[in-house]
Chain A
Amino acid sequence: MAVSGSDKSEGTGRGTGRRPTERKGSRVSRGSLPRYILARIGLIIPMMWVLLTLVFLLLRVAPGDPVSAAVGGKLDPTVIEERKTALGLNRPLIVQYFEYLWQVARFDFGQTISDNRPITMIVRDNGGATLTLTIGAFLIALGIGIPLGLAAGRARDSIRDVAIRLFGIITYAAPIFFIGLLMQMFVARPLGLPTSGIAGPRTQFTVQSRPVTHILLVDALLQGNMAALGDILVHHILPCLTLGLLICGVFIRLVRVNVLQTLQSDYVEAARARGIPERQVVREHAFRNALVPVVTVVGLQAAMLLGGAVLTENTFNWPGLGTQLVHYIEARDYIGVQGLVTFFAVVVVLISLAVDIINALIDPRVRYS
């Protein structure tokens, strides 16, 4: 319960430890990697199912029907009935539920009501912008968070420690849209940085006319259009920095606490007792081990990054999935909201699975937990 980050980290591993009896009878050696991966996937399925059921229950069983909510008042009641039948919304809920699960299993998230766009198309067209935004923010967060966390943890309760901790708390405390607002007012204007969108209209037009990956940054690179690439990168600076600042607070806290705990551990004490200079103890013995849990938390930050991305995108008019979500919320498009929220849920669960597997590769102890 030290920090929210490390608190969460025990959560992912915990599920695997709940069935000790199953382990005993098994022939496969305990702690083998394939077994761990299988067990982890086995855990994903019920979790995914619970999440999907929740989303379905919340958005479909809710009072009122999706079609009249989205386009009611604009269309004739008979037309609305026709569309409801066409969308299969007049069938029993249980049938709709199983169809929904089957669709999601095939990575089909449905079609919006207000403008008839398949969710997969939205993901294709707008997902790239969210992807480059979150990756950029994540790199910035690591770049700021890890060095600061190490510096703070090393000199506990010094002025430097307190200053870094306060920096971490304040960046975490400040809402993204407020940091974004301050950036727009005090950073963008003097430096002449763009504050809206992912690229200038011309760049967007030329790059998007020949899409390959539908990720604007990558497409510009593939087309060898350096001017466009530069323009896109410049547009990334402020949004990535804003989102990165939010996440870096978590890394500062986590790395700091880990360094503190490693520096108190027996093996560090032993290294000191052997007469190894303090600088070397800190750098070679404490820092490295303090960074291992960061990998775990990386996965858990995915949830926070996505939440933060929704806000960042709406602050900077970023053409990503977050602005789309808010657009469909405003349009009262239940299927659009449901599809995007389902997609986010799938992404979060898959990332946490990937991170757990990477973690098990790096640190064999994880497989036994």
Chain B
Amino acid sequence: MKALLAPFRTTTGLARWLLVTGLVLVALFVVLAVFAPWIAPYGFAQSSVDGVKFTKLDPPGPGHPFGTNDLFYDVLSRVIWGAQTALLVVLLSVLLSALIGVPLGLLSGYVGGWTDRVLVLIMDALYAFPSLLLAIVFSFLLKNVLPSGVVAAALSLTVIYIPQYFRVVRNTAVSAREATYVEAARALGAPNSVIMGRYLFSNVIQSVPVIGTLNAADAISTLAALGFLGLGIQPQDAAEWGFDLSRALDDAASGIWWTGFFPGMAIVLLVTGLTLVGEGLNETVNPTLRKRRFATVTLPPRPAPSDLSETQNALAITASDNSAEGGGK
């Protein structure tokens, strides 16, 4: 709980405001995603109600607050259901990539030698490659293999993010491997699995949420990009914002703005929210980025010359409090 509140305690003023804004935005979309069946007025692939077909490309009005699109679907409903698709895919891919990347990084950093070299080479190559192209290649391949568009999209995104966890975790593991406490554990006869699982893991795990949040933001845009290029999820499988935007491109020329504007804004808001949360976390985890907050020091009433050492103690305590906060990476 204390760790959860850390971002709030250590940030001040605008930094905290940005973090809270981000959290509110993300929470909004989580609510939309979880309660989509109750919030959305229609299904994501519903083009008629009680046998009456919706008007095609109906402008926003009483029946359809966001209008309808060229497939006769209700735009508001697609935006709401789209939140579910986006968060599901992103959650899957971020969890999977952390589940693969973190153990690989630990192994590579701790074992070293040839395992390390080969893994680093592969991961660096994957990392250097344009991530969108990587996702395009994978979804191009997986689309024919997997029946579910959601799983295929999630797996294509997973591949992009594995190297990021791997790199951070490996580098931390390499430096932690030589630490005294790890040496002590080894001297006490702890098997490698315990050293990796307990000592190294708890050391590297702190940076994972930050990478995860920032990756989630990136994954939302990449998923939309795949959808936009026609490689993502098909409209009958699930509502996907990127796909809707690609259809909307044709409408734009004729002045129809609502089919593209709302799904686009949904992407912008969700990615902005996730980025703000990720940056807020980053600033708390990374002390070099943080602005030092000066603690107010209340001096005790002017002491007699003999009590001077006590004042110094009091000052030293405040100072160590500050450094503890700064070092609490």
Inter-subunit contact A177/B245 (CB<8 Å): yes
User: Is A304's CB within 8 Å of the partner chain B?
Assistant: yes
Inter-subunit contact B121/A175 (CB<8 Å): no
Inter-subunit contact A329/B140 (CB<8 Å): yes
Stretch of B53-61, B122-130, B195-203, B312-320 contacting A (4+ beta carbons < 8 Å): B122-130
Closest to B265 in A: A178
User: Is A362's CB within 8 Å of the partner chain B?
Assistant: no
CB neighbours of B140 from chain A (8 A): 329, 337
CB neighbours of A315 from chain B (8 A): 249
Cβ-defined partner of B246 (8 Å) among A157, A177, A303, A304: A177
Inter-subunit contact A51/B128 (CB<8 Å): yes
Inter-subunit contact A348/B242 (CB<8 Å): no
Inter-subunit contact A195/B228 (CB<8 Å): no
Interface residues of B in 132-175 (CB under 8 A from A): 132-133, 136-138, 140-141, 144-145, 167-168
Q: Cα distance A177–B267 when bound, in Å?
A: 11
Inter-subunit contact B291/A58 (CB<8 Å): no
User: Is B225's CB within 8 Å of the partner chain A?
Assistant: yes
Stretch of A59-67, A236-244, A289-297 contacting B (4+ beta carbons < 8 Å): A59-67
User: Is B79's CB within 8 Å of the partner chain A?
Assistant: no
Inter-subunit contact A182/B264 (CB<8 Å): yes
Closest to A305 in B: B130
Q: Cα distance A260–B228 when bound, in Å?
A: 37
User: Is A46's CB within 8 Å of the partner chain B?
Assistant: yes
Inter-subunit contact B133/A58 (CB<8 Å): no
CB neighbours of B141 from chain A (8 A): 58-59, 62
Q: Cα distance A109–B130 when bound, in Å?
A: 18
User: Is A54's CB within 8 Å of the partner chain B?
Assistant: yes
A175-B242, A307-B132, A349-B128 given; A50·B121 CB < 8 A:
yes
User: Is B301's CB within 8 Å of the partner chain A?
Assistant: no
Inter-subunit contact A311/B228 (CB<8 Å): yes
A201 to chain B, nearest CB (A): 17
Interface residues of B in 249-264 (CB under 8 A from A): 249, 252-253, 255, 257, 260-261, 264
B190 to chain A, nearest CB (A): 28
Closest to A300 in B: B128
User: Is B275's CB within 8 Å of the partner chain A?
Assistant: yes
A169-B275, A174-B268, A181-B249 given; A59·B137 CB < 8 A:
yes
Q: Cα distance A54–B145 when bound, in Å?
A: 18
Inter-subunit contact A157/B253 (CB<8 Å): no
User: Is B248's CB within 8 Å of the partner chain A?
Assistant: yes
Q: Cα distance A310–B132 when bound, in Å?
A: 9
Inter-subunit contact B207/A1 (CB<8 Å): yes
Inter-subunit contact B289/A257 (CB<8 Å): yes
Closest to A64 in B: B144
Binary contact track A237-276/B, C-beta < 8 Å → 1, others 0: 0000000000000000000010011000000000000000
Binary contact track A304-316/B, C-beta < 8 Å → 1, others 0: 1011101100110
Cβ-defined partner of A175 (8 Å) among B210, B211, B225, B230: B225
- For A178, A182, A325, A344, the residue with the greatest tally of chain B CB atoms inside 10 Å of its CB is A178
Closest to B118 in A: A50
B270 to chain A, nearest CB (A): 8
User: Is B87's CB within 8 Å of the partner chain A?
Assistant: no
- For A2, A165, A169, the residue with the greatest tally of chain B CB atoms inside 10 Å of its CB is A169
Cβ-defined partner of A1 (8 Å) among B132, B168, B260: B168
Inter-subunit contact A174/B267 (CB<8 Å): yes
A174 to chain B, nearest CB (A): 5
Inter-subunit contact A173/B124 (CB<8 Å): no
Inter-subunit contact B252/A184 (CB<8 Å): yes
Q: Is the interface of B mostly helix, strand, loop or mixed?
A: helix
CB neighbours of A131 from chain B (8 A): none
CB neighbours of A213 from chain B (8 A): none
Inter-subunit contact B214/A47 (CB<8 Å): no
Inter-subunit contact A175/B131 (CB<8 Å): no
Inter-subunit contact A55/B137 (CB<8 Å): yes
Binary contact track A338-356/B, C-beta < 8 Å → 1, others 0: 0001001100110010000
User: Is B102's CB within 8 Å of the partner chain A?
Assistant: no
- For B18, B130, B230, the residue with the greatest tally of chain A CB atoms inside 10 Å of its CB is B130
CB neighbours of A260 from chain B (8 A): 289
B83 to chain A, nearest CB (A): 15
A1-B168, A177-B225, A311-B225 given; A329·B264 CB < 8 A:
no
Q: Cα distance A51–B133 when bound, in Å?
A: 12
Q: Cα distance A261–B291 when bound, in Å?
A: 10
B156 to chain A, nearest CB (A): 11
CB neighbours of A184 from chain B (8 A): 249, 252-253
Interface residues of B in 180-223 (CB under 8 A from A): 207, 210-211, 214, 217-218, 221
B324 to chain A, nearest CB (A): 20
CB neighbours of B124 from chain A (8 A): 11, 15, 47
Inter-subunit contact B132/A50 (CB<8 Å): no
User: Is A227's CB within 8 Å of the partner chain B?
Assistant: no
CB neighbours of A303 from chain B (8 A): 128-131
Inter-subunit contact A2/B286 (CB<8 Å): yes
Other A-B pairs beyond A15-B124, A172-B275, A341-B137, 20, CB < 8 Å: A1-B282, A47-B124, A50-B121, A50-B125, A51-B129, A54-B126, A166-B18, A173-B267, A173-B271, A174-B268, A175-B264, A181-B252, A184-B252, A185-B252, A185-B260, A260-B289, A303-B131, A311-B228, A344-B130, A348-B128
Q: Which 6 A/B pairs are nearest by Cβ-Cβ distance? A: A307-B132, A173-B271, A178-B264, A50-B125, A303-B130, A307-B130
23 A-B contact pairs sorted by A residue (CB < 8 Å) = A1-B282, A2-B289, A4-B218, A8-B127, A50-B122, A51-B129, A58-B137, A63-B144, A172-B271, A173-B272, A173-B275, A177-B249, A181-B249, A184-B253, A185-B252, A303-B130, A307-B131, A310-B133, A311-B132, A311-B228, A329-B136, A329-B231, A341-B137
